Chains A and B, each alone.
Chain A
């Protein structure tokens, strides 16, 4: 312990000394720095093998004196993982994409020749604005585009993700080197009072990034106002919307940003302990946060007498047990207390009576992420980003039927079209995009003709959806809207806590109605029933989960009612997604009698032998698509509401 005491940062000089250490590893003066993107997405794409290949190569070739091999978070372009970034002293940072282990040698060789392995070079960074600091890498490599010249990045504004993919999330020194903990220093050492801090956050117009968009400054002030010796702050990291993983990336790529934000927040509201409530399904994020907390403690940034002042604060991590509803603040608090995660009625709001009945301030991960940079750059600067009443940026996870999937950080007020068509480069296989689903199971579907809607809290609400925590699922003409609504409703049925009747019973019955519609058994009165049920569930449910769960149904009914009617009246699923409404036929003059389809049919519905035109028995077929997927001659068609003439029994193929 005595040894660690020495590390504690008290003076500005000590902070700068640590920053100097970090800079040495970020931009080693006489060494090459190779960093493998090592967030969950990168690992899933094979970053582990790539890192291993670098490690083996460096050891084998005895390059340990020349190369520093390290890990970073994620640079946000999931489709192109694994990412590797390489810094040669005085040269631009080069980002390689889709790196395979066998390309490691070529990357290293090129780097040693002060060159670039062009085949896999995505872009370069000559100058990087961390907002809390700026780093120059150098000029050169004219053949490689600058990162924000790429259409994927050109509309983006990296504020929350300012360090992601550049710094090593396991190094507090690197975080400090790019201006980390400067805001904390400013707050505690420049004698900003808690009220000053709250004023800055209020002025900045920062709104809760978890989805509800409540002004953060007001929330903080409400907790500050309460007269209580014990207060808590909580970081809500129970991210659970299907297809949304912004918070995971923020925690994995830059954990210190969250911790710094929380320390500043704790000082502002007067809390001496904080919790990060994180879903257990995020082991890497938990690991990195835990390590970051320990590092912060070692430097005296957490614990007693932070930065040598009277202010003391510490953070504990608590894991959720897999309930979506625990992202709701009152259920989250119940879960933290050891109770089952069931919401309770507000008021009293947590700011008055929260964790163990003490005033508690809860903010989402991304909200905390914004705090340090606002303190450092000021409220006015923050307001220059985003739109009216919607200051700042927002990270979205752009997924679904879109060409470029990944984490996208844009200013609030950016149009859906820009995100989907310019950043995401439109639909896969030139399929027409039909809608986007935003805000997860609480959100709604926004049709393509409304893609000029600016993405912010207020405008998304106007079109019937919500911004939510930032999931954007792109749906194209191969998506059935009834099926989409059913999918999200099924999620809500599974995740309902079961406390209040509209959500517990109502959603289940709504799901059953949708299920029968997708199976061609819908009744004409079902649409009206869905509408009145949605209304009752929305208005009478106890918590936000139930109050918003019908949104996917309401919006698909609002914008795509024709699809419901088609399913019910014509028994047609235009997107050919609903199995019971889809049939498969073998086109006689395309079939070559190769027997592949028959071999793959799991229910032996296909009859025929070699050189015979195969025939699908419609009675036995379960529309599983296996034949459709394996046929090398495109001889199988998928139809809904129509049929084609096929031979009744297999007949010999006529040679042309």
Chain B
């Protein structure tokens, strides 16, 4: 396969020369075309679940003309798409109304919907009691995908099917493989995933109260990083770093390093002086 083969595509009647296979949603963002999306993340494989990023394919390549998600659309020679039409707005409106009912307590969703002119929903709210994600989850799957694809831990996954899908740990039991890296919380578009550090433990409130021990700084005694995550990262260091450094919190480490630097410099000066 030839890499970086350029193809000409048309978006909203403007021609662009782009790499073949380039992700259309991602490209639209770079040229300032506004398309809402909840499940798309450049670090993850395109998933095509939130459907907000729909565009209309006019013609082109190997794609059937019609409404399709732009996050799973790839650039091919002659592809022509339109990002704004009455029909797209109508579909998006319904989708936002569905999201407003699905995640009734999410301020992010309310604001996003508002931005696209949707302030209310005709559908009854799907408010679950004791929802582990605070009725803010839209099931975009970013957390599941980051944990499986990138972190390669698979702590969380979808449970159930259809309307009753939820995301949690296996059997809704505290996980013993979660490293507490919080990548899931980081990618969550609605901020639904809750972690809290209390004393020597990180509490994954959203994930069946999974508990991850925190590592204590050998100098100041502060708890600074989840132990299993720290071990994984240190295990990847090559060459290994000074053992002392592996037991320090970032603050103490910085102090220690700057002291050491000063010492080296002074040492250097003293050598110079000798000369």
Q: Give A residues with C-beta under 8 Å from B.
A: 323, 340, 342, 344-345, 347, 493-502, 504-509, 512, 529, 532-533, 535-536, 539-542
Contact = CB atoms under 8 A, between A and B. Distances in A.
A493 B99 CA distance: 17
B94 A506 contact: yes
A562 B196 CA distance: 57
Contact of A498 (B69, B157, B162): B162
Closest 3 CB pairs of A and B: A498-B165, A496-B162, A345-B72
Interface in B71-122: 72, 87, 90-91, 94-95, 98-99, 101-102, 122
21 contacts: A345-B48, A345-B69, A347-B63, A494-B162, A496-B161, A496-B162, A498-B160, A498-B164, A500-B50, A500-B51, A501-B50, A501-B51, A501-B99, A501-B138, A501-B139, A502-B94, A502-B98, A536-B90, A536-B94, A539-B67, A540-B95
B16 interface: no
Contacts of A505: 98-99, 101-102, 123, 126, 163
A506 to B, nearest CB: 6
Contact of B122 (A504, A508, A529, A540): A529
Contacts, number: 96
Nearest to B51: A540
Main secondary structure of the interface of A (DSSP, over half): helix
> Most chain-B CB neighbours within 10 Å: which of A340, A493, A494, A508?
A508
Interface of B: 46, 48-51, 54, 62-63, 66-67, 69, 72, 87, 90-91, 94-95, 98-99, 101-102, 122-124, 126, 138-139, 141, 157-158, 160-165
A498 B94 contact: no
Contacts of A498: 139, 158, 160-165
A344 B71 CA distance: 13
A498 B141 CA distance: 11
Contacts of B49: 499-501, 542
Contacts of A344: 48
Nearest to A495: B162
A500 B158 CA distance: 13
Contact of B51 (A347, A507, A508, A541): A541
Contacts of B54: 539-540
B224 to A, nearest CB: 37
B93 to A, nearest CB: 8
A8 B162 CA distance: 49
Given A347-B63, A494-B162, A536 B91 contact: yes
Given A345-B69, A505-B101, A529-B122, A542 B162 contact: no
A77 to B, nearest CB: 37
Contacts of A529: 122
Contact of A496 (B122, B123, B157, B163): B163
Nearest to A511: B163
B46 A345 contact: yes
Contacts of A536: 90-91, 94-95
B99 A509 contact: no
Contacts of B102: 501, 505
Given A340-B158, A498-B161, A504-B162, A512 B95 contact: no
A167 B76 CA distance: 53
Nearest to B96: A501
> Most chain-B CB neighbours within 10 Å: which of A501, A506, A539?
A501
Contacts of A499: 49, 141
A539 B66 contact: yes
Nearest to A344: B48
A535 B95 CA distance: 12
A557 B111 CA distance: 35
Contacts of A542: 48-49, 51, 69
